[in-house]
Amino acid sequence: MATTSKPTESKGSGWLRWPSGGLGLRLAIGVIVGWIAFGGVSIWRMGSLDGLPDVGEPFDVAEARRPVALPDVDNAFVAYAAAHKLVDPPNSIDEARRGLFFQAVWGNENKPLTWSSAPPGLCEYLEIKRAALEIWREGSRRRDALHQQPSRLSVHTEMYLMQDATVFAGMAALEGSRLEDAGAWDAAWDNYLAILRCSRLIGRHGTLIQRQYGARIHSLASRCILRWAADPNLEAGQLRRALQDTLDADALTPPVSEAIKLDYLSCLEPMEDMRNFERMMLSFGRPRPLFGGQQVGLLDRLVPWSAQRPIQRFQRDASNELERSRRVFQLLFANWLAQADRLAGRRAPLAIRKPTWVYADDPSAPVAARAMSPESLVRALDRIEFGFLFGQENTPSDPPWEGQGDLARERRRRSVLIVRLATELYRREHGTAPTTAGSLLETALKELPEGITATDPIPPSLE
């Protein structure tokens, strides 16, 4: 009897057919697991952005990155770099003397450094480094300054020329005092003007840290200038020249927002490329723990570094670290930029001071500045690796442009310096002190500086 073979049962058709055999089964399971992992990672990446709106750049980044056209002959930093070569590297004795200049500029804000009160060794250091001081003074007469092109800024931009500026400012204060003692008023003024102009120039096209160095040097310049201006031997013509020089120097001061924008540019490099991000985190001694969290664990010490990097890169890519960082930074800087240039009484209050500064919701601010609540923004900042740059480990402080911050004090001091210098000129020309700031109009000043009204009394002190 003829037999017929039983037809093979179909296990599916088309792309749904299940592969037969052990190898096919393992392959199918691998594909499914892969798709599940891919879907999970995709959901994780999307979830990591939950609540972080993409508000775009807080300002025109392309415009801010445009090269600044400034010939070397007009750039104060070119001269400052030349002066640096004459004081670097310092020996141990010179380093100690430089430390004393730092202390005089940054620590003692009650009175300026004088020739008669200088600690031992400073006058000797001045004589040895006089050639460098002269180069620095020449640089301070230049019309502008550029430390670094905006497109080349990074979180690792070196600031040794700012440290030098502090030392040279202290040296110029010492030299000016020596000349005052000798009755050489005009030569003394040239030194004090160099300090004042340097305080403005090192912040030109510069970051917040450059502006803060400038603010401290401005404090020294102001104290030297007012002591010099109070000397009864000075004539009205000398004071009028000094007042005009001071107004010209003050006009070099850029708005705080410019420094904030440049700080933002310095943070962009690591957020635009994963390799740059990894290098930045390692340079700060902050490798990503394999098990997450903030602290390196046992696994991180056991796994070879060559094996850690691919894992860390996968974790960062899977969690959308760069995009999250970019969005958080856009929100944070938009929050600051909406307030920093306003007068103190017209800013929104600070809602949060630690781990960083965040202003309260302000209906008058741009939409990007209030796209997220302060509390949510701080939580988001805490979840990104890059957030450590903005943390305050100690007692919460004011932003540089608020309260007792260096730039806030400088903003007030700039106005007071102009008014008090104009007051000395008024006293020489009229034989009496002005009754109010308004008395200075048309006689010493064409207009009153920011924050000073015509009915205000003459400020008794700089701060």
Residue type, 75: N
Of residues 363, 370, 269, the one with CA closest to residue 322: 269
How far are the Cα atoms of 62, 244, 381, 385, 410 from residue 324, in angstroms, in the given order? 21, 49, 9, 10, 35
Helix, coil or strand: residue 238: helix
CB 55 within 8 A of CB 367: yes
Non-local (6+) Cβ contacts of 266 within 8 A are 153, 154, 155, 157, 207
Q: What angle do CA 247, 252, 255 make, to 5 degrees?
A: 115
Evaluate the CA torsion angle 207, 209, 212, 213 in order and state its sign: negative
Report the C-alpha gap between 50 and 128 in whole angstroms. 62
In this prediction, residue 6 carries a pLDDT of 41
Report the C-alpha gap between 326 and 268 in whole angstroms. 8
Report the C-alpha gap between 139 and 198 in whole angstroms. 8
* 358-359/350-352 β-pairing: antiparallel
Report the C-alpha gap between 275 and 54 in whole angstroms. 23
Non-local (6+) Cβ contacts of 33 within 8 A are none
CB 195 within 8 A of CB 173: yes
- Which uninterrupted H or E stretch holds 358? strand 358-359
Number of H helices, E strands in the chain: 17, 2
- Which uninterrupted H or E stretch holds 421? helix 406-430
**DSSP per position, 125-178:** HHHHTHHHHHHHHHHHTSSB--SS-GGG--TT---HHHHHHHHHHHHHHHHHHH
Evaluate the CA torsion angle 83, 88, 90, 96 in order and state its sign: positive
CB 436 within 8 A of CB 455: yes
Q: Where are the domains of the chain?
A: 72-257, 287-319, 320-397
Structure tokens at 321: 């670290």
Report the C-alpha gap between 373 and 332 in whole angstroms. 11
In this prediction, residue 33 carries a pLDDT of 44
In this prediction, residue 290 carries a pLDDT of 66
Non-local (6+) Cβ contacts of 169 within 8 A are 105, 195, 198, 199, 217, 220, 221
Nearest-10 crossing angle of helices 160-181, 92-102 = 80
DSSP state of 354: S
Report the C-alpha gap between 93 and 99 in whole angstroms. 10
Report the C-alpha gap between 232 and 238 in whole angstroms. 12
In this prediction, residue 463 carries a pLDDT of 79
CB 201 within 8 A of CB 140: yes
One digit per residue, pLDDT tens: the chain, 463 residues?
A: 444 444 344 444 343 344 455 555 554 444 344 434 433 444 444 456 768 999 999 999 999 999 999 999 999 999 999 999 999 877 888 898 888 888 877 776 656 789 998 888 899 999 999 999 999 999 999 999 999 999 999 888 899 999 999 999 999 999 999 999 999 999 999 999 999 999 999 999 999 999 999 999 999 999 999 999 999 999 999 999 999 999 999 999 999 999 999 999 998 888 777 777 777 777 777 777 766 656 666 666 777 767 777 777 777 777 788 899 899 999 999 999 999 999 999 999 999 998 899 999 999 999 999 999 999 999 999 888 878 777 766 677 889 999 999 999 999 999 999 999 999 999 999 999 999 999 999 899 999 999 999 999 999 988 7
Residue type, 215: A
Q: Phi and psi at residue 352, in whole multiples of 5°?
A: -140, 135
Report the C-alpha gap between 369 and 360 in whole angstroms. 10
In this prediction, residue 191 carries a pLDDT of 99
In this prediction, residue 392 carries a pLDDT of 66
Report the C-alpha gap between 223 and 461 in whole angstroms. 10
In this prediction, residue 237 carries a pLDDT of 98
In this prediction, residue 100 carries a pLDDT of 84
Other beta carbons less than 10 A from residue 1's beta carbon:
2
Report the C-alpha gap between 303 and 292 in whole angstroms. 15
DSSP state of 66: S
